[in-house]
Structure 1
Amino acid sequence: MTTFTRIRINPRHRAARHALASNERIHAIVQRAAASGSPDANQPRTLWRLDPGHATHALYIVSDDYVNAAVIQEQFGAELSDIATCSYDPFLGQLATGQQWRFRLKANPTKSIGSRQPGIRGKRIPITKQDEQIEWLTRQASRCGFHIPINRLDVPEVIVRDSGAVSFMRQDRQVTLHSAIFDGFLAIDDPAAFRQALVTGIGRGRGYGFGLLTIVPVPRPASDDAATGA
């Protein structure tokens, strides 16, 4: 069973301030909260994403079991009413070819630079230009069972809302990953591949807050509501 969890976090709470200070801390808390009694190497990695807000932050988690609410309450200072969790499977089962959704993805776009020496693996570097980040997303989409529609201006229906470096300490060394947040619209081409992307994530850095794709219905135009009397 796959579960989807949303947690409202008060960033002014002392426990939350400590936890949110580092992606490594959030990673450790999420792994502890999502840990099942019998680890399985074949289970997908737990995904998470933090969406900061003015008064409240939202933490989303996709895991293979229900999260331990006690861990979340203790480590983030959250109330039980701040934690909403459910089985993801019924929603995943309703996804179909041709459906269109609004989406958000916080990703770590990278590319590999080939090595001049035979047998030596190329170096992986971040993609920092927005047009190249969108090209990266388009390539990922084709592998993950969806595409980004093209609008009347002949550009993809997606924007890079935020882009920059994220640094944190891991085992006494600094780790820096480049972040890009994509907001836009998508259309499903291959439901099975798309479900897999929702459960296992997209791109690199998935243990550290990257790769979790979330979708919501596309709002109906106001003219449609007026026509139907809704």
Structure 2
Amino acid sequence: MNAWLIRIEPDLRNRSASQDLRDIVAIHQRVMTLVPDGLGRDPRQRAGVLFRIDQEPTGPVVLVQTTLQPDPSRLPPRYGHVDTRDIGPLLKAIHPGMRVRYRLAANPSKRAITGPHAGKVVPLSGPDVEAWWIKRAETHGLALEQMHTHPQPSMIGKAKPIRHAVTRFDGTAVVRDVDLVRAAVLGGIGRGKSFGCGLLSLAAAR
């Protein structure tokens, strides 16, 4: 079970890094350079690439997860501080009844059936956002204990007309189905996986 987590603290003085952070399409293209070329159709899915931008007190942090071994040396010189961690042991250690802390930046949305947006994917709002995560967590093998929601800046693309509403979910949960939880970590949750949504991070709860 192979998976790696790359933590990138971009140096905002670096032109490439600062420009990337203004365009979610540019960030997607940048994180894809961490995995091998020539992966054929849907290289993101084949390499298991997911990413999330966390806003920390020291500045933005880009977390990238891959199922193919990444090569951080392919980032531009002085792009930022990079740490790479093998999370395979964490995935193997997941067991039924385990209490975990989780974080997920997701695009809670649905395809409208009626009304002016019928047939289009529309973002959820209000209580529907929490209901979306409660249902998805259960579907993916987690029983939620605590949940905190944090609306995030929309993911906006300049090179392409992309705009994803994003909510970050934090809290604790209990693992009910190990296989479903591992699949959720490796495959992501919800829409917008190419553009900063869907990465589920877990850690043992103390």
Question: Aligning the two structures, in what range does the TM-score lie when normalised by the shorter sequence?
Answer: 0.7 to 0.9
Say whether residues 1:47 and 2:50 are aligned partners.
yes
Letter in 1 for 2:70: V
TM-score (normalizing by structure 1): 0.79
Counterpart among 140, 146, 150 of residue 144 in structure 1: 140
Residues 34-66 of structure 1 deviation map (CA, whole Å, 9 limit, x = unaligned) = 235554767364101111223343211111222
Task: Calculate the aligned-residue CA RMSD, in Å.
Answer: 2.2
**Kept in 1: contact 2:48–2:68 (CA 8 A):** no
Q: Which residue of 1 aligns with 2:194?
A: 207
2:21 maps to a residue whose letter is: L
Q: CA deviation at 1:185?
A: 1.0
Aligned-partner Cα distance in 1 for 2:92–2:84: 17
Aligned-partner residue type, residue 58 of structure 2: A
Aligned-partner SS, 2:170: strand
Per-residue deviation at 1:126? 0.4
2:151 corresponds to which letter in structure 1?
D
Residue from 113, 132, 150 that aligns with 1:161: 150
Q: For 1:215 and 1:64, locate their aligned partners in 2 and report how far apart those are by CA, in whole Å.
A: 16
Q: Deviations over 1:167-217 (max 9, x none)?
A: 22244xx22111101111111110011001001100000010000011223
CA distance, structure 1, for counterparts of residue 29 and residue 185 of structure 2: 21
Change (3 A) 1:188 1:213: same
Q: State yes or no: 1:179 paired with 2:176.
A: no
User: What residue ranges of structure 1 are gaps of 5+ in the alignment?
Assistant: 150-156, 220-230
Q: Measure the CA separation in 2 of the matches of 1:122 and 1:18.
A: 34
Percent identity between the two aligned chains: 22
CA distance in 2, matches of 1:186, 1:44: 28
Provide, for residues 121-179 of structure 1, a one-character-per-residue CA deviation record: whole Å limited to 9, x for no partner.
Answer: 833210122x2111000111121111212xxxxxxx111122453322244xx221111
The DSSP-based 3-state class of the residue aligned with 2:164 is strand
Match of 1:77 in 2: 79
TM-score normalised by structure 2 residue count: 0.87
Match of 2:68 in 1: 65
Matching of residue 126 in structure 1 with residue 105 in structure 2: no
